[in-house]
Structure 1
Amino acid sequence: MASLKDVAKLAQVSLMTVSRAINSPDKLNKDTYIKVKKAIDELNYVPDVSALKIRGDRKVPQLIGVLALDTATTPFSVELLQAIEKTAQAHQCNTLIVNLFDDHDAERSINTLLSYRPAGIIFTSMGFRKITIPSKLQSQPLVLANCISPDLPVASYVPDDYQGQYHAMERVIAQGYKKPLCIYLSLNTLAGKLRRKAVEQAWQDHNLLLSDLTSYHLNLELGDEHYLDTIEIINRYFKEGSPDIDVIICGNDRIALLVYQVLLGLGYKIPQQVAVLGYDNMVGIGELFYPPLTTVQLPHYQIGERAALHIINRIKDKQEYKIDCPLLIRQSI
C-alpha cells in the first residue's frame, strides 16, 4: 500500500505539501494541488486514519462500533445494521461492525473493536433478548439495540412487542373472531411472554373469556426444527374437518408460513374459513404469502437509526426506548 512518502516522491514535493493537499488544500496553489492529487490517484493512496487520530486531526470522521450478536448472519435484522450505517454516513461518521456468535471468543472481538477507539458502541442482537454486558464495555459510551440488560443501566432501543400484539388483537376482535388458536414463540423468550400477555389482555379488555383461547408455545430453545411442531398442532385441529377455530395467531411469520402450507394442503381457504395473523413482517417474504399475510412490522430500521443517533448526538439518557410495531393489514384477516 502506498505511503505518504511515496506520494511526495512521485509528485516531487515535500511530505508537508502532501499533508496540506489532503487536509488543507486551500493553502496550496492550484498547480501544486493538482500535481499532488494526480500522484495520489495514480498510487491509489489512502490516508492512514490511525495516524490522523494520533495527531488529533479533527477532520477524521468519528467511528461508531457495532457488536452484532448473531445479527449480521440473519435476514431478519439486516435492516437494523443498514439503518446504523446509513444514519452514520448521513452524519459523516464511519461504522465498524464486528460479529459475535453466541458470545464465542467475545473478548477478542471486543478488543478488536476497542482498538479502533470508537466514539461509541452499539450492541445489537438478533431476536429481542436479555444480554450481559462484558466488563470492557461498561465504561464505554454504549447503547443497546434490540436487546436489554437487566444488570446495568444503559440506553436501549427495543420493539414494543406488547403494543404491536395488543393492537393486532384489537383488529382480530373487531373483525368478529371468537375462537383463536395461538401458537407462540418459546415461553422463556421476551417476545414469547410479551406477545402472549398482550393477546390475553386485549381479549379480557373486550370482555371475552380466556377459556376461548387455545394456546401453545413452541420449544424453539431446543432448535429451529421445533418450528415443525406447528404442523402437528394444525393437524390436531383441522385434519378431521369442521374445527372450532376461526383464527390462528402466530408467534411470527415463520410459524404463519407453516400454518399456510398445512391449511391450504388440507383444502382450507384463508381467510374465508380460517384467518391467520403473523408477526415480524419477515424480510423478503411477508408480501409473498397468498393470500397476503396480515402481520406486525418489527421496527428494525427505526431501532438502528435511533441507536446510531443516540451515539452521534451523545445522548446521556440511560432508559429503555420502546419503538412502535405497526400492524400491516393485508388479506389473511
Structure 2
Amino acid sequence: MNSDVILTCAVTGAGDTTGRSPHVPVTPQQIADASIEAAKAGASIVHVHVRDPETGKGSRDPELFRETVERIRESDTDVVINLTAGMGGDWVPDADNPAMPGPGTDMIGPEDRLRHVELCKPEICSLDCGTLNFGNGDEIYISTPPTLRAMAAMVKEWGVKPEMEVFDLGHIRFATQMVSEGLIADQPLFQICLGIPWGADHTVDTLKVMKDQLPSNAIWGGFGISRMQMAMAAASVAMGGNIRVGLEDNLYLSRGVLATNAQLVERAVQLVNLMGGRVVSPQEARNKLNLLGCDK
C-alpha cells in the first residue's frame, strides 16, 4: 500500500477525442487552464501534450509547448510539469508499397523528438520504451533502442527526469537495460500503461506481473484507460504505486457522464483518501522524485 501517492493528470493526449467530448482542451490556453484546474483539484503532476489549434490533432510544434508551459508557470498554481516526448514515431505503411511510408506517417530522429523538451526544460518528460502495434489499423509506434538511448542521454544532460512509459514486458526489459548502462540518473521512474491496443491489458494480474519486473529501487505508477481508469488507480495504490488519471486516458466520470480533468482528479483524490492514503503536493512529489529540473 502506498500512503503518499503522486497523482498525475494527463490533460489532453494526442488521440482523436476532441469530437467526443467538449472538455478535451485544444489550444495552449485551454491546455494550460486544464492543467491549472487539475493542480487546484489536487494533482501533483500534469502530463502535457499539445494540439494544433486549427484542427485539434496532436502536434509536436515546440512553440505550442512553449506557450502552454509558460502559461502554466506564470500562474499562481504550483504543479510539476511532465511533457510528452512520444510524438514523431508513427509509421503507417503505404497501401500499395508497404516498404514506403503512407499517409499518417510521422517519423523523426531523437533530437527532433526532444526539441520542445530542450526548449521548455520541464522537470519530467515521458520516454516510451519500445515499439508497439497501435490500434487496429496499420499504424506502428516505433521507438528503437538507439533512439531511446540517445534520448535518455540527452534528457540526463539537461537535468530532466525521464518517466519511462512501458506498455509491455519487453519495454520494461529494455528500460531496465538502460538503467544498468547508466543512462538513467537517480532512481528510475516508470509508468505502467495498460489497456492501449495492442499493449498489455488493463487487469490487476497484468499490473502485478509488470510491477514485479521493475528494478527494486524504481518509483512507479500505473494507469488503465477508459472504464478501467479508477480500478487500475486503486490497484496501483494497493500495490505501492502512484496513479494517473485524465482525459488523455478516459473521457467519462461515470457511464454516459462526460468528465473534466479536474473532476477526474477529485475522484482520484477521494479514492486515495478512502483507501487510507493521501495525495502529495507538487513539492512533496519533487522531493520524492529527486527532480533536478526547473521549478514552476
The structure having more radius of gyration, on CA atoms, is 1
Which TM class, normalised by the smaller chain length? 0.3 to 0.5
**TM-score of the superposition, structure 2-length normalised?**
0.33
Specify which structure has the bigger relative contact order, considering alpha-carbon pairs within 8 angstroms and separated by 6 or more residues. 2
**TM-score of the superposition, structure 1-length normalised?**
0.30
Q: Which has the higher helix share?
A: 1
